[in-house]
Amino acid sequence: MDNALVLKQMQKFWNNDMPFNQLLGLHITKFSPDKSEVRFSWQEQLVGNPMQKILHGGVTATALDLVGGVVAAANIIAQLEDLSPNSIEQSLRKLSTIDLRTDFLLPGRGEEFIATAVIIRSGSKVAVARMELHNEKNDHIAFGTGTYMVG
């Protein structure tokens, strides 16, 4: 099984079998070590304050944490020599978020939201990712920085 196929399968698994991602309607649309992407649509249930009709800050943090984890996972897989299911599972088992910072720039308004992530520090044990959240008009809603355990 080659690398691209593994990423495709993981994308499918993470999109279909992660309960909280499904509850929020988060879809991974790019699962790649260079830049990963998660999208979701506006829904009433994602609202924080009903008077202002803006996304709850926790939704933003969730999308940023997810897309940072996706790009970190893609980098773990890119460095694996053994692409057997067992090896992949062993490696990803170690993936976890150590810390996450979210900077809220604009109120979370829009119809569709796009979260993207790139790796800025890549190591055998720890990776750091930078994330951004935009809406469909390309308004820049939030920045994120996540430190992930990867090995």
Q: Which of 20, 53, 52 is nearest to 40 (CA)?
A: 20
Q: Which of 101, 135, 115 is nearest to 30 (CA)?
A: 115
Q: Which of 87, 149, 97, 144 is nearest to 118 (CA)?
A: 144
Q: What is the DSSP letter of 47?
A: B
Radius of gyration of the chain (CA): 15
Q: How far is the CB of 149 from its own copies (least distance, A)?
A: 6
# of chain residues touching its own copies (CB under 8 A): 52
44 near its own copies, rule: CB under 8 A? yes
Q: How far is the CB of 147 from its own copies (least distance, A)?
A: 6
Half-sphere exposure of residue 143, counting CA atoms within 13 Å on the CB side? Answer: 4
Q: Which of 83, 130, 134, 139 binds its own copies (CB under 8 A)?
A: 130
Residue type, 87: S
23 near its own copies, rule: CB under 8 A? yes
96 near its own copies, rule: CB under 8 A? yes
Strands 27-30 and 36-41: antiparallel
Q: How far is the CB of 78 from its own copies (least distance, A)?
A: 19
Sign of the alpha-carbon torsion through 127, 34, 86, 89 = positive
20 near its own copies, rule: CB under 8 A? yes
101 near its own copies, rule: CB under 8 A? yes
Q: Which stretch binds its own copies (CB under 8 A): 3-11, 34-42, 75-83, 125-133?
A: 125-133
Site residues (vs its own copies, CB under 8 A): 17-24, 44-52, 56-59, 61-63, 65-66, 69, 93, 96-105, 107, 120-121, 123, 125-126, 128, 130, 140, 143, 145, 147, 149, 151
